[in-house]
Structures are given as C-alpha cells and as structure tokens.
Structure 1
Amino acid sequence: MNGTQKGNVDLVKQLNGAAVYRLIDQKGPISRIQVAELSQLAPASVTKITRQLLEKGLIKEVAQQASTGGRRAISLKTETSPFHSIAVRLGRDYVQVSLYDLGANEIASEYHEFNYLHQNELIEGLIDYIRSFIHSYKEQMEQLIAIGIVLPGLVNPELGVVEYMHNVEIDALSLGDIIHDHFGVECFIGNDIRGLALAEHYFGASKDSQDSILISVGRGTGAGMIVNGQIFLGYNRNVGEIGHIQIDPLGDRCQCGNFGCLETVASNPAILRRVHQLLEQGHPSSLAELSSIAIEDICAHANLGDELSRQILFNVGNHIGKAVAITVNLFNPQKIVIAGQITTAKDLIFPAIERNVESQSLKAFYKNLPIVASEVYKQPTIAAFAMIKRAMLNGVLLQKLMGE
C-alpha cells in the first residue's frame, strides 16, 4: 500500500470513528443498531469501532434498552469523567485557565492579570501559568488529553498559528506546536469569538440550530457564524468582523482606520465613553451619583428607568440591529445570539435590534427568527474547551486517543 492509499484509509477510519463517536455523544444512550442506521455504516464496522472505543474507555455500556423482540440491545454513551483538558482564555491583559472533563463540566479555574508586550513574553508567561495550574490541580486530573486556547486575534486553527493580535506584535506564532511540545498533549488554538459561537452551538442557546450567528459585544464587537453545524471560517480562516461594518460615515474614527464602524458605537468602551460625554454635558442621570461606572451599572439603571441609560442602550440596539440585518440577508440564519453584559438589559435592546432587522432584511429571512441572549458567555474558558470538543467530534483528537 503506497502513502496515498494509506492516507486515504486513515482518513476513512478517522471519519467513520468520528461519525460513531459523535452519534453516541449527541444521542446516547444509543444502541449499536441505531448507530449503524443513523451513520449508514455496516453493523460490522460499527461493532469494530465501538469495541475500540470501549477498550480505550471513551464510551461505556449502560442499562439495557427495552426491546421489541429478540435479544435486548445494550445502550452506549460517552465516558467523560476520566478525560481532562485545560482550557485557556487569553485576553489582552489577563489569562484565565480552567480544568474540564469531556462532559464540559468545569472542575477548577484560575484568573490572573497578565500584561505582555512582546511575543516571547506571551509564550513564556502562558507556559508558566499552564505549568503552575497543572501542578496545582494534578490530583484532580486522571488523564490530560488536550489543551485549548482562545484569544482575540487572527488565528489559523488548522495549523495552530496566531497570525495577528491587536495588542502585541506577532510573527506567525506557532502557538499550538509550542504548547504541544512543552506539555506533550495535543493543543488547539482558536479565535475567542468564533470559539464562543461554537460553544454556544455545542452547549448553549444555539444547540438546536444548524445555522446561527453569535454577536459578541465586549471590549470589541465581533461575530461567529455556525453553518451546517460547523464554525464558518472560509478560505482565509478569519471571518465575522462585524464590528467593522460602517454604521455612521460621519462617526468616530475606529482603530482599523475607518470612520463610524459598529465597534465605535456598540462596544463596552464606546458605551462608557458616550455615557461620560453626556454626563459631562450636564444631562441628568442617576448614574451621576456613582463614583465609577461599569456596563453593568448602565444596564441596571436602564432597567430601573434612567432615561439617559435607556436612550444610550436603545441606540446601541439600533446600531447592532443594522449590522444584524446585513448578516441576516447574507446568511439567513435560524437564530441570532447576542453575548455580553449588555444582555442584562435585553428587554430594552433586543426589541430595537428586532425592529431594525424587520425593516432592513428580507421578510422570508427574519420571519420567526429568534434573537436570544447567550447562555455561555459568562464562562470565559468554555470557548477554548469548544476547540477540544470539536477535535473530538471531527475525529482529530479522537484518533490520537485511539492510538491510530
């Protein structure tokens, strides 16, 4: 067998193994017969794959299912507790590290301020934090199988290469390989917002949808798109820069160099900046009584009826709605998910978004389109764990664990 033939055989094994594992993970407890029917694989192939998965402890047999006749079928479900992974959220000035089992249960988590100006500082600091975390929680790790890292920047997730970060000069940083070589486990790298969209699809508000768009409003404004159940990356691997859609040509200059980008009016810094401008101009508001103001304060005061807070967030909803309408016309999603602290004022913001979507997108596209709040954004590292989950479900990590 030549190299090409062997490569094709290995790929088929990976895809078949992934198909079986994915069905057991998503629909378990499930019988082998049901797996064969749903996967359209031969029963003998399913039996062989499930035997291998059982031998590696990746699945387990559970209580027998009721049978309509003949031998009672044994159900299969995935095993989660023995397999652990480390999920890292690298921010612009902090790092959060968590320990997860394969069931997406967060077992432990640590937050650290982390200021880095150069690529080497980033690498060295990240390794130190992960090493320290492993040492602190080694008694709780049965089998460390992977490390996932998400960060704000342009990433090639297939190669594990960081191509760009706003706050530090990056030179084709092979972060995945560096972490893999240092800790001896597979490492998966992704963009934070794309990872959050994937986490929402696996564990949160869009798990019932094959096509969804997540819009995250935080320090910046970005989007992640799920298309046919997969994160949409495109040929260039980085899409979803919704924060740089021009909303107001006469607006403020954006860090990207353009004027009036969505991010200049609908991000946490932009909202806070607008509040302070209006307060300094003498506009009345209960926020003026506070010594410092956070996004949570603005939302809370808006919910209590403060007119300045309400007007600002209403305008934010209108601006987001304009951008959402564009994405709806382009992608026709089943669901829109909004993530960020602003969702605590969703009763004010979401109707504004909906009105703009209804007035600026095709009726067939916005009809029965839910706009909902994220269910997972308060878990900072869940996006990094989603990178690992994807590697299990598409067979990349699964194949490594099965020793093939």
Structure 2
Amino acid sequence: MAKITKANQQLAAAHNRALAIKLLQHHGQLSRRQLSQMIGLQNSTLSYIVRELLDKNILRTSGKRQSKTVGQKQVLLEINHELGWAAGISVFAGNISLIYYNAAGQPLARKSVAIPDDIEQLPTVLRKTMNLFLAEYDAPPGKLLGLGFGLPGIVQPETGVILKSADLNLTNYPLREKLSNEFPDVPICTLHDADAAALAENAHGSARDLHSFIYLMISIIRKNNGFSLEGYGSSIHLDGQHQTGFNHAAGEIDHRLYPKYDKIITQDHLDTLADPSGQLDDTLLDYADQLLTSLAIISNLLDPQAFVLGTNFPLKNQQLLNFLNKNLPAQLIPVPDRVINIQYAKLGEEAVCQGAALAALEQSIVKLSTADFTDASNPITPLII
C-alpha cells in the first residue's frame, strides 16, 4: 500500500476546500450537512473546514434551511459577498463587454466600450473603465479579486497567452503579462470565449443540469449588405469534465465541419430566427438541414447528452429547434436508448463575460481557501472550466 505523505494530505485538504467553494458557487446556499454529503466527508471534517473558511471571512452564515421535520434546523452557508468583486470581459467584433460580479456571483454592473485600435492600449482602456465603475458605484466592498477574459481563438489558461486568434489578429500574445502593469497582483484568468459561455450556461443557464454536453457557438458576420453564418466554435464537456485537449485547442471547429452553407441572409431572416413562432423559408430550411449534418457528425464522434446552441444574435425560433431534434436521431449511429437533446442557450451574448467573471471568482476564491495547503511545488489542479 502506498504511503500517505504530508504532500498528499495537504493536496486532499486543498481539494476538499476547493470543492466546497465550487459547490457553494454553483448552488448559492448549502448547509454543512449538504456539503458533507456532496463531498463525501465526515461531518466533523467538514465542520472544521467550514470554521476555517468562516474565520477567513470567505464564507458567512445566511439563515436556516427550511425543513418539515422536527428538530434543529440546519444553518445555511454562502460565499461572503463582501469578500470582493471581479470583472468578466469578452472581446469580440470590435467591442469589449464587461460585467462586474461581487464575490457571491451576483451582478453589480455592465459596460461596453470599443476595442482600441492598438491592442497595446487595452490595459489602459480597462483601467479607465474600471475607475469609472468604482466612482459610479461608490466602490463595492472588498478588493478586486480577479479579471476574467473570454477570448476568440486558442488560449493557454496557465500562462495567459493568446496562442492564436484570427479575430484579434494575434499570435503568441502575452495578455496576462501586458496587463500586469495596470493590474499588479490581480489574478487574471483567460478562457476561450466558447468555454466562458459554456461555464455561464452550466452555472445559470440551459446547461445547468447537464453532465455531458457540447456548447456550440454560432456567430453571424456582416457581409455583402447582409449577414453570413460563418463563425463556429465549441466547448466540450463529457462525463462532467471540460475537455481542453493536449494543446488547449479542443473545441476549435475546422471549416470542413462547418454547415455547407454560403448564402447571405437578410435582416428579415434574423428577425425570423429571433421569433419563437417565425416560419422558416427555403433559405433557412436549407441552413437547418446543413446544421443538422454537422451536429450529427459531432454526435457520432463524441456522444454528448445534449447540445446547447449559443449565438451572438437572438435565436429563439421553435421551428428550427423542432426540426433539429426531430431529424437528428435518423443521422446517428444506432445506439439503444440514445437520446441527444438540442436546446438554445439561455444567457445570450452576455454569457461570455458572465462565464469569464465566474471563472475569475472561482480561481481567486479557491486560491484564498487553499493557500495554507498549496504552493508552487504542491499546486492544486484547477477545478474551473
């Protein structure tokens, strides 16, 4: 039997604390008993962890759990919203969208500004934008816990480097390093934009109860006095685990897997896609058929529980959704009892900056919670997406 070393014990302690934080961020409020059951710890061990996190002001009590049984009611725990705040930032199509969350994951404010022509000015633009937020909202309690970025392209989360982004025309760009002068000692979290959106949908949207799903991001681009459906990316989640790939490029969709569709659509088409009861014309039915083929190929390869379709435009058309769900089974390799559901994302364009903010909060609060048990030689594997 392998010897249990001090390092292993410390890693287990850090993991249990990190998991408690993640569960509270996902559920909002839980009792000690609920946490103990979810993590699989003895009540005495969990109580020790909770006392420690309460003493650090990372957690706070918040009333009692409602129960029909006789006896002492369980005290509820939650993340202390006065611990600090974080900003989630999405960068896309010439704009920077920001959302500010307190430590408990509650939104404080939203803002959108133009991307500077010179990307080197991005840190200065962000600092000015945040100074305005602090002035307007009279500075939220606590400190700036972190910045989260949802970015188009291949991103290396460990280093904060944008490995390749065609949209931003960047290669091997050290974003975290560039931000360090304006935001010294502030943890910076970088994610692929589809991963950030999937995190938000998993926390508060259509993917909340899904164990294995693929978030498919579909983007429209203005083209030839109309719009082109030609931007695709994905975030892959299988068996409860986000799949990043060996080179952090999992989820990038090769153009050969795109729906074979090069038609220019009009504003009327977009209005139809945004209308739950809108009637698809031949142009949109053709797109639905091509999108179905792409979903079938991905389904046969990865076998998800569901697809969540996210877009940078309103997508609510029920006829399209019914068509995809009705016709997908016929294109799948036969597997007994297999059902793959297709549904629309719930959070819209804001999902990317929401997910980026949630990732920044989780990274920062987990680090605060596990600091006594981890260091450079004994790090905890990140639990974030």
User: Does residue 387 of the first structure (1) align with residue 362 of the second (2)?
Assistant: no
Q: Is 2:349 the partner of 1:378?
A: yes
More strand, by proportion = 2
Residue pairs, 1:170-189, within 5 angstroms: 170-180=170-180, 182-183=182-183, 184-189=185-190
Distance 1:347 1:361 in 2: 22
> Superposed, which structure 2 residues align to 1:320-331 within 5 Å?
320-331=291-302
2:131 corresponds in structure 1 to 135
- AA in 2 matched with 1:299: L
For structure 1, the residue ranges without an aligned partner over 5 or more in a row are: 247-260, 276-286, 288-292
The 8 Å contact of residues 95 and 112 in structure 2, kept in 1 or not, is answered as: yes
Matches within 5 A, 1:222-301: 222-242=233-253, 244-246=255-257, 261-262=258-259, 265=261, 270-271=262-263, 273=264, 275=265, 293=267, 296-297=270-271, 299=273
Q: Against the structure 1 CA distance between its residues 221 and 147, is the aligned structure 2 distance closer, same or farther, given a 3 Å change threshold?
A: same
* Alpha-carbon spacing, 1:384–1:80, altered in 2? closer, same or farther (3 Å): same
SS of 1:344's equivalent? Answer: coil
How well do the aligned residues superpose, as a CA RMSD in angstroms?
3.2
CA shift in 2, pair 1:25/1:90, >3 Å: closer
Once the 2 structures are TM-superposed, how far is the Cα of residue 27 of structure 1 from its aligned partner? 4.5
TM-score (norm 1): 0.77
Distance 1:32 1:148, change over 3 A: same
Residues 333-371 of structure 1: per-residue CA shift (max 9 Å, x gap): 222111126663522322332344222113437844321
Q: CA 1:330–1:343 in structure 2 vs 1: closer, same or farther (change >3 Å)?
A: farther
Q: Tell me the equivalent position of 1:312.
A: 283
Does the 8 A contact of 2:273 with 2:315 survive in 1?
yes
- The equivalent residue for 1:21 is 21
Q: How far apart, CA to CA, are the structure 2 residues paired with 1:365 and 1:111?
A: 48
Whole-angstrom CA distance in 2 between matches of 1:397 and 1:178:
24
Q: 1:378 to 1:27 in 2, by over 3 A?
A: closer
Question: Which is further off, 40-49 or 340-349?
Answer: 340-349
Whole-angstrom distance in 1 between the partners of 2:276 and 2:284: 8
Query: Please, what TM-score do these two structures have when normalized by structure 2?
Result: 0.80
**Distance 1:179-1:47 versus aligned 2 partners, 3 A rule:** farther
Q: What pairs with 1:196-235 in structure 2 (closer than 5 Å)?
A: 196-219=197-220, 220-235=231-246
How many corresponding residue pairs? 355
Single out whichever of 383-392 and 148-157 deviates more from structure 2: 383-392
Task: Please state whether the residue corresponding to 2:246 is helix, strand or coil.
Answer: coil
Deviation of the 1:322 alpha carbon: 0.9
| 1:249 equivalent in structure 2 | none
Q: Distance in 2 between matches of 1:363 and 1:389?
A: 42
Cα deviation digits, residues 103-131 of structure 1 (max 9, x gap) = 43332222122254xxxx31x32212221
Query: 2:133 corresponds to which letter in structure 1?
Result: Y
**Deviation of the 1:94 alpha carbon:** 1.7
Kindly tell me: are residues 61 and 342 of structure 1, through their superposed partners in 2, closer, same or farther at Cα, counting changes over 3 Å?
Answer: closer
Give deviations 1:63-87, integer Å, cap 9, x for gaps. Answer: 2445967765433222335421011
Q: Are 1:29 and 1:75, in contact at CA under 8 Å, matched by a contact in 2?
A: yes
- 1:107 partner SS: strand
Higher relative contact order (CA 8 A, sep 6+): 2
**Code of the aligned partner of 1:156:** Q
1:148-189 per-residue CA deviation (whole Å, 9 max, x = no partner) reads 011111101122211011045534222224434531211100
Provide the C-alpha distance between the structure 1 equivalents of 2:369 and 2:178, rounded to a whole number of angstroms: 21
Is the 2:78–2:104 Cα contact (8 Å) retained in structure 1? no
- Determine helix, strand or coil for the equivalent of 1:57: coil
The higher radius of gyration belongs to 1
Q: Which ranges in structure 2 are unaligned for 5 or more consecutive residues?
A: 221-230, 376-385
